Copies of this chain bind each other. A is one copy, B any other.
Amino acid sequence: MSYTDAISASMLALSDPTRRAIIERLRAGPLPVCDLACGMTVSRPAVSQHLRVLSDAGLLVVTPLGNRRYYAIAPDGVAALCLYLDQLWDDALAAYVAAAKHQAEKNKGSAK
C-alpha cells in the first residue's frame, strides 16, 4: 500500500494473472464475490484480497446489494492507464522515427 502514484498501483494490480482473471470475468458486467470465487483456482479469501488490491488501485467499484457485494470494473481507473500508455506510445514512436531519420542522414555521407 501507500504507493507513490496511482499508475504504479494500477500496473501492479494488473500484473497478477489471478487478478487479471478476475478482471476478465468482470468484463461482461458486475458479479458478487461468491460467483467470482467459484471456478477460480485460489481460495475465496484470496479472491477477497485481490479484490481489495484492485479496488485500492481504483480499478473496481463495489455496490452492496442485500447479502452480497457486486464488484464492477471502474472505467475511470482503466482510462487513466490508457491515457498514460497512449502518451508513452506517442513519445516512443516519435523518438523512434527521429532516431531512424538521424541514422539515415548519417548513412547518406557513407552511401555510394
Contacts and interface: CB of A to CB of B under 8 A. Distances in A.
Q: How many copies does the complex hold?
A: 2
Interface string A76-107: 00110110011011011101101100000000
Interface stretch (A5-13, A35-43, A44-52): A5-13
Interface residues of A, number: 37
B82 A96 contact: no
A17 B29 contact: no
Contact of A78 (B73, B75, B85): B85
Nearest to A14: B11
Interface of A: 3-5, 7-8, 11-12, 14-17, 20, 23, 26-30, 72-75, 78-79, 81-82, 85-86, 88-89, 91-93, 95-96, 98-99
